Chains A and B, each alone.
Chain A
């Protein structure tokens, strides 16, 4: 039995949205900024998005080519491993399904990589089937650099560290290769509803 913290009591009412808050999370209405390093500022004319690795041929889109792809606007709940959750966040971006539409791959895993050297691994099936996007707008506005702009991965059903900011590419891999935080002890999969924060969870 953990010790009782003298004088501590619940201050937040679970409210009507309690069923949408995973275990150990609390609801916030702001948009906290957390990153593993400084915010990169890649000029849009130098930006590109690459699909490579275990594929029949790599693909690459410039910023204008990327924006010309069909986009979707979607509203999702976001859960960060640092305990905050925010509901009903509206993003616009290109579905990973769209990016992979004509790609042949022998890989079952994806390493997302970013400006600044960040990486994170996600099973391909978690990015496909309408569950993953490369988002370029938040709430109808271009995504701010501090929130991962010009474009970030969005995998809302996993903890938010999987939604790599400043995304520059997706590398398909045959073996599952733990990324930056996964190598430092964060869970390899990161399902908020099973509270998979760290290895062993």
Chain B
């Protein structure tokens, strides 16, 4: 019974494009990035986002990040801790510049 109710309420989410608007270094290894996300509807406190990066050769990597901004704010903020031997965090908290998309 409960299963039917949940199935009816929830649907599969499509991937959407995010554009980096702003990057701010918080500490030596943490950076907050502000994103403009296509078709973004307000999130609820506690929700997270899945980030998927695509390399030129088609390779993709996914990570999950907590949302660091409030639902009422303009743009989605993620605060990224840079893991030195990581794959995604050194990019998001390093090479990423305003205007970049993923």
- Interface of A with B (CB < 8 Å)? 2-12, 24, 26, 81-83, 175-178, 182-183, 185, 188, 198-201
* Count: A-B pairs, CB below 8 Å: 87
Distance between Cα atoms of A11 and B54 in the complex (Å): 12
Cβ of A176 and Cβ of B55 under 8 Å apart? Answer: no
B91 at the interface (CB under 8 A from A): yes
Contact indicator per residue, chain B 5-31, by CB within 8 Å of chain A (1) or not (0) = 011001111010100000000000000
A-B contact pairs, 26 of them (CB 8 A): A2-B52, A2-B60, A3-B102, A5-B91, A5-B102, A6-B97, A8-B91, A9-B55, A9-B57, A10-B55, A10-B59, A10-B61, A11-B86, A11-B90, A26-B61, A26-B63, A81-B64, A83-B64, A175-B3, A176-B2, A178-B6, A182-B6, A188-B6, A199-B11, A200-B11, A200-B12
Q: How distant is the Cα of A182 from the Cα of B10 in the complex, in angstroms?
A: 10
Distance between Cα atoms of A58 and B100 in the complex (Å): 58
Cβ contact within 8 Å between B55 and A26: no
Kindly report which residue of chain A lies nearest to residue B97, judged by CB atoms.
A6
Within 8 A of A (CB), among B50-98: 52-57, 59-64, 86-87, 90-91, 95-97
Residues of B whose CB lies within 8 Å of any CB of A are 1-3, 6-7, 10-13, 15, 17, 52-57, 59-64, 86-87, 90-91, 95-97, 100-102
Whether B1 pairs with A175 at a CB distance below 8 angstroms is: yes
**Binding site of A, secondary structure by majority: helix, strand, loop or mixed?**
loop
Q: How far is the CB of A126 from chain B (nearest CB, A)?
A: 16
Q: Which residues of B contact A175 (CB under 8 A)?
A: 1-3
Judging by beta carbons under 8 Å apart, are B62 and A83 in contact? yes
What A residues does B12 contact at CB under 8 A? Answer: 198-201
Using CB atoms, name the residue of chain B closest to A1: B54
